[in-house]
Amino acid sequence: KNQVEQSPQSLIILEGKNCTLQCNYTVSPFSNLRWYKQDTGRGPVSLTIMTFSENTKSNRRYTATLDADTKQSSLHITASQLSDSASYICVVNCVEYGNKLVFGAGTILRVKS
């Protein structure tokens, strides 16, 4: 069973709309949780990194939240743009595994005009 579960698997929204992607994890203990954006044919690019003591982190139109008690994180995208179309991957840095990253399967977002 994957230790990092993301939902939805895919999502289609209209340009300009907001959306929220979810991430539930069972990895414990962890040192930080990361969100990456992966464009088709490219490597993942870091959006946010949050330690277990942080509740929220913003990067331009991306806002990530973290609830370490419920082991949930979300990524909110505001005023979506066509260039936001990509896969968004939730990644947990697992202390038990020597600080290795545990990847979710990703949410594929498509923004259409």
Whole-number Å distance between alpha carbons of 92 and 19: 21
Given the complex with another protein, which of 65 and 93 has the nearer CB atom? 93
- The sign one gets for the Cα dihedral 79, 74, 11, 85 is positive
Q: Is 89 an interacting residue with respect to another protein (CB under 8 A)?
A: yes
State which amino acid sits at residue 13.
I
How deeply is 112 buried, as exposed, middle or buried, from its count of CB atoms within 10 A (0-12, 13-18, 19+)? exposed
Confirm or reject binding of residue 95 to another protein (CB under 8 A): no
110 binds another protein (CB under 8 A): no
- Which of the ranges 22-30, 59-67, 75-83, 98-106 carries the binding residues for another protein, by CB under 8 A? 98-106
104 binds another protein (CB under 8 A): yes
Cβ-proximal residues to 98 (8 Å cutoff; 6+ apart), any chain: none
Compute the distance between CA of residue 24 and CA of residue 92 in angstroms, rounded to an integer. Answer: 10
Nearer to another protein, 94 or 111 (CB): 94
Q: How far is the CB of 100 from another protein (least distance, A)?
A: 6
Q: Is 32 in the site for another protein (CB under 8 A)?
A: yes
Q: Which residues bind another protein (CB under 8 A)?
A: 2, 32, 34, 36, 41-46, 49, 89, 93, 100-101, 103-106
